[in-house]
Amino acid sequence: MLLIVAGTTLFLMARNGLASIANGTHKLPMGVHSFVQRADYFSAQSSVGLTLIGLGVAVGFAASIRHALRRRARLAAAAT
């Protein structure tokens, strides 16, 4: 769950950054020389956020399968 929340937060922050560049309200921080660099940064941040969301879904799916298999094994052992 934490991976999904962290990935969603990262993705939304990147989306807001890209939107502020598109609106012309974004100020460049010190050390960044062009808006292209900043857009690349936000694009990479967005990709990492989506990757974290995918990993969170995969971990949750694997955990649910593992939980179901253990429950089934425990019920089978109790029945014998």
Q: How far apart are CA 41 and CA 27, in angstroms?
A: 14
pLDDT digits (tens, 9 = 90+) for 54-74: 999 999 999 999 999 999 999
CB count within 10 Å of CB 72 equals 10
Measure the CA dihedral 47/49/55/61, to 10°: -120
CB count within 10 Å of CB 56 equals 18
pTM: 0.83
pLDDT digits (tens, 9 = 90+) for 24-51: 998 998 988 999 999 999 999 999 999 9
8 Å CB contact between 56 and 8: no
Using pLDDT thresholds of 50, 70 and 90, give the confidence band for residue 80.
confident
Residue 78: the pLDDT is 85
Measure the CA dihedral 57/62/64/65, to 10°: 140
